[in-house]
Chain A
Amino acid sequence: MIQALRLFFINHGYLELETPHLIPSPAPEAHIDAIGVGDMFLHTSPELCMKRLLAAGYSRIFQITKCFRHGERGDRHLPEFTILEWYRTGIDYNALMEESQALILFVSKEMGSGGKIYYQGREIDLACPWEKITVKEAFDSYASLSLEKAIEMGRFDDAMAKEIEPNLGTKRPTFIYDYPALLSSLARLSPDNKKIAERFEIYLAGIELANGFSELNDAQEQRVRFEKELIRRRRLGKRLYKMDEKFLKSLEHMPEAAGIALGVDRLAMIFTDRDKIDGVISFTPEEV
Chain B
Amino acid sequence: MYNASDLRRGLKIQIENDPYVIIDFQFSKPGKGQSLYRCKLKNMITGAIIDRTYRSVDTFQQAALENRKMQFLYGQENEFCFMDIENYEQAYLSDDQVGEAKNYLTDNLEVEILFFEDKPIGISLPNFVNLKVTKSDPWLKGDSAAGDSKPVTLESGYVLRVPPFIEEGGKITVDTRTGEYVTRVKE
Interface residues of A (CB under 8 A from B): 29-32, 71-77, 156-158, 160-162, 165, 183-185, 201, 208, 211, 236-237
CA distance A74 to B27 in the complex (A): 5
CA distance A208 to B29 in the complex (A): 10
**Pair B29/A72 contact, Cβ less than 8 Å:** yes
How many B residues, CB 8 Å from partner? 16
24 contacts between A and B (CB under 8 A): A30-B34, A31-B29, A31-B32, A31-B34, A72-B27, A72-B35, A73-B27, A74-B26, A74-B28, A74-B29, A156-B33, A157-B29, A157-B36, A158-B36, A160-B30, A160-B33, A161-B28, A161-B29, A161-B36, A183-B33, A185-B32, A201-B31, A211-B31, A236-B57
CB of B17 within 8 A of chain A? no
Interface residues of B (CB under 8 A from A): 5, 26-36, 38, 53, 56-57
**Pair B32/A211 contact, Cβ less than 8 Å:** yes
Q: Sort A-B residue pairs by CB-CB distance and give the 4 closest, nearest first.
A: A74-B27, A157-B33, A160-B30, A161-B28
**Pair B33/A237 contact, Cβ less than 8 Å:** no
**Residues of A contacting B30 with CB < 8 Å?**
157, 160-161, 165, 208
Question: Do A29 and B27 contact each other (CB < 8 Å), given the known contacts A158-B53, A237-B57?
Answer: no
Tell me how far the C-beta of B6 lies from the nearest C-beta in chain A, rounded to whole angstroms: 10
**Residues of B contacting A31 with CB < 8 Å?**
29, 32-35
CA distance A77 to B71 in the complex (A): 45
Tell me how far the C-beta of A202 lies from the nearest C-beta in chain B, rounded to whole angstroms: 10
Tell me how far the C-beta of A182 lies from the nearest C-beta in chain B, rounded to whole angstroms: 10
CA distance A279 to B53 in the complex (A): 26
